[in-house]
Every structure is written in C-alpha cells, then in structure tokens.
Structure 1
Amino acid sequence: MSRFWTLMTDEFGAAYADTLARGHVVHALGDRTAAAALAEGMSPRTVWESLCEDLDIPEHRRLGIDRAPMPVPPRIANEPSE
C-alpha cells in the first residue's frame, strides 16, 4: 500500500494524488475510484496499473522515480558499528 501512495505522489504530486484517488472513477476497477477499490481489498498493484491505463501514463513512468537506496543502520544489518 505504501508503494502505491509513493507512486501516486511521484506521478501526480502530493496534493493531487489524494484528490485523484478519491474522485476519478475507473471502469476497469468496476466503476470505482482507486480509493474505493483499495478499501474493498483490491490489490494496490492492480489499482495502480488500472489507473495508469485509464490515464494513459507512459510505461516508462509507471515504476516511479529512481531513488538512492536508504542506508541500513548497522544494528539492523547485523554489522559492526564504525
């Protein structure tokens, strides 16, 4: 679910992502909004892919933006501290 919202924010911006999820009805989601489909238990991946198809989001933008990996604290990675 968090990945879905990250993709939404990356593509549409923080303010519009929520509005779009609650207001845009997608036929492939059973004439439901993304928010309604998620609330009813539909897979976030299915919802995202359906929304992308409906809005003609190009394939190269459907995986989100590239981000550098987050550093893992040594205590979590089971590595000695420096």
Structure 2
Amino acid sequence: MRLTEFTELTGLEFGRLRADAMLVDLVLVELGGRTGAQAIDDGVDPRDVWRALCREFDVPRERW
C-alpha cells in the first residue's frame, strides 16, 4: 500500500484530525509498542499499520 492511499483511508475512516493524532499518539502493541508514524518511519508497510488500526478500533472487515 502506498503512503498516499494509507493517508486517504485513515482520513476517510477516522477523520483527518483524529487520524493524524492517532498516528503520533497511539502506541500499538501489535506494532511492537510503536505508534503508527514510528512504525512507518521504521519501514513497516502502511498496509500493516492500517490493519493494526482497523483491528484496534473494530473497523468492520469490509472497510479494511
């Protein structure tokens, strides 16, 4: 997944301001105790970060 697609999906699902805050503030155990932004900076595929966020917030699977 490209970063632009990830940014678009997070904005649509969570709202742009909330998504931006989540990426820098929310630590996800699934991502090794990193925030989404840290994981992406460390080279984790944005698709994996997207799926971790979806699981954390119980986003219906059809919107993943």
Larger helix fraction of residues: 2
Aligned AA (2:26): H
Unpaired runs of 5+ residues, structure 2, are none
Of the two, which has the highest radius of gyration?
A: 1
1:31-75 Cα distance to aligned partner (Å, 9 max, x none):
11100000111000011011111121111222xxxxxxxxxxxxx
1:22 aligns with 2:35: no
Unpaired runs of 5+ residues, structure 1, are 63-82
Structure 1 residue 18: Cα displacement = 0.4
How many residue pairs get matched?
A: 62
Among the aligned pairs, what percent are the same residue? 39
Distance, in Å, in 2 between the alignment partners of 1:41 and 1:34 is 11
Aligned AA (2:41): A
List structure 1 segments (4+ residues) > 4 angstroms apart after TM superposition.
Answer: none
Partner of 2:41: 39
Partner of 1:65: none
